[in-house]
Amino acid sequence: MAEYINRIEEIDYHDLLEKSIEKKRQGYRLSQACAAYSGGKLELSYSFADDETLELVTFRLVIDKETEIISLSEVIPYAAFYENEMKELFGVNIQLIEPDYKNKLYRINTETPFVPKGE
């Protein structure tokens, strides 16, 4: 495998917006964002890629499911698709997504289907 950086960096959820803006200014693009449940907590992963160095840096946020997260869509417009998905499938409480599909990105009849039973 070629040498390149692929690391996960744990950050406080308050720092997400600032660190994402910093990555954008450095020329990175948001490669993906996703959620996972682990140990009763929500794990959010925002991966930023640099296409020149092939570096992939993933910001990891571990939060309670009630915690409010600010949307990145104002600074990274296409983040809205990822955020709508996280909100709809995992119930992540993301505020001010633009556009907010209001849980209609996927036309499913189950509310937050990826939340483990009992959570």
Which residues contact another protein (rule: CB under 8 A)? Answer: 1-2, 4, 6, 8, 27, 29-32, 34, 36-38, 43, 45, 47, 49, 51-52, 54, 56, 58, 76-78, 81, 99, 101, 104-108, 113-114, 116
The smaller minimum CB distance to another protein, of residues 14 and 104, is found at 104
- Amino acid 101 reads Y
Kindly provide the b/e burial profile for residues 60-89, where b requires at least 16 CB atoms within 10 angstroms of the residue's own CB. ebebebeeebbbbbeebeebbebbbbbbbb
Amino acid at position 106, single letter: Y
The least distance separating another protein from the CB of residue 30, rounded to whole angstroms, comes to 6
Least distance CB 13 / another protein (angstroms): 19
